[in-house]
Amino acid sequence: MKKLLWKINDSVCGWIFMIPFLLLFSIFYGYPVIHNIWLSLTDYSGMKMMNYGFVGLKNYETIFNEGLSGFTGMLLWTFIYAGSVVISSLVLGTFIAVLLDKAGLVIAKIYRGIFILPWVIPAFITILMWRGFLNTSDGLINSILGKFGIPPIPWLTDPLMAKVSTVIVMTWFSFPYFIIVAQGILKSIPGTLYEAAEIDGASTRQSFVKITLPLVVRAMLPTLIMSFIMQFNQFGIYLLTRGEPAAEKLGDPGATDLLITYVFNTAFRTMRYDLAAAYSVIIFFFVGAFSLIAMKVGRSIGSEESK
């Protein structure tokens, strides 16, 4: 009898406890997701603020037909960008974590305090700073290079160079995170593994590539996928380059535009709210798929560990 009462009590109380969160969550997440799906089926834009209406899948047709050239390129770039940032931060972060492991305990703490700076200082401040540093005509980096007689490099103004610059700058932001996560994982790798490798004649580099990296990657897999999602949706690019250098045709994605910055520009510069909504529905599918994978991977690793 008492047990049954608990059960009923739990079900009611559980939901009561969830109310505040669910309320806010459905307002700020649920509604936008549904409202976006609706908007993507209308012709709502800066030109048609009031008398907009249902147009079916027309926006999706526009994206996949007319905009296809720009769209596929941008989608591809979003994947390449997110992949490169995650992989280079992972390698750099793990590498530094290994080095810190070998340095003395106190020294390692001091170094980590420094390495972590890019992650600590608010990103909106440092991204804008990088934008100034990388300016072609009067940026800090070109000014210093100029002292050595090197001609100005178009860091953010040449399409290809701008792509490389965004990857470098964003890696600078995200590798400290990987140092810390990798340090946690390194502590759990038994030292006997390395000793055995050393006896077998493995060099330091070999044991880094063959032992450390694979183990860290495995333990970090869910984190890696989540970081990929974060970079996939990296809005910081907007502050760094605004998606520029711009494309020749107005309204096409710029060289460093990611899906997310392009959607923002489509909505707030060209006022095509309908197209922007259709794009964000597409992004939602991508991101949803990634996070499903992350959850699956996380669960399978978790169940393996508990075995």
Partner 1 sequence: MITRQKKRKQIGLNIFLSLISITILLPFVAIVLISFGKDVIVVSGSLLPSEFTLEHYVSVFTEYRFINWFWNSIYLSLGTMVISLLITTITVFALSRVRFHGRDIMFSAILLVQVFPLTLSMVSIFKIFSSFGLLDKIEGLMLSNAVMASAGMVLLAKGYFDTIPSELDEAARIDGAGLLTIFVKIILPLVKPILAIVALQSFVLAYNEYVIASVVMTGGFKSMPLAVGLQSMIEGQYGTNWSRYCAAAIMGSLPIIVLFYSMQRYFIGGLSEGGVKL
Give residues 186-225 in contact with partner 1 (rule: CB under 8 A).
Answer: 188, 219-220, 222-223
- Token output for 131: 């934008």
3-class secondary-structure state, position 36: helix
What residues numbered 277-296 form the site for partner 1, per CB under 8 A? 277, 279-280, 283-284, 287-288, 290-292, 294-295
| Binding residue (CB under 8 A) for partner 1 from 4, 21, 47, 51 | 21
Question: Closer to partner 1 at the Cβ: 77 or 177?
Answer: 177
What residues contact 267, with CB distance under 8 A and at least 6 apart?
273, 276
120 is a site residue for partner 1 (CB under 8 A): yes
What is the Cα–Cα distance from 38 to 240, expressed in whole angstroms? 32
What residues numbered 226-245 form the site for partner 1, per CB under 8 A? 226, 229, 233, 235, 238-239
Could you tell me where the DSSP H helices lie in 51-155?
58-64, 68-102, 105-115, 117-120, 123-133, 140-147
What residues numbered 137-176 form the site for partner 1, per CB under 8 A? 138, 140, 143-144, 146-147, 172
Region at 122 (left for phi over 0; alpha for psi -120 to 50; beta for the rest): beta
- CB 15, min distance to partner 1, A: 6
- CB 192, min distance to partner 1, A: 20
- CB 165, min distance to partner 1, A: 14
- Token output for 266: 């489509």
Contacts with partner 1: how many residues (CB under 8 A)? 94
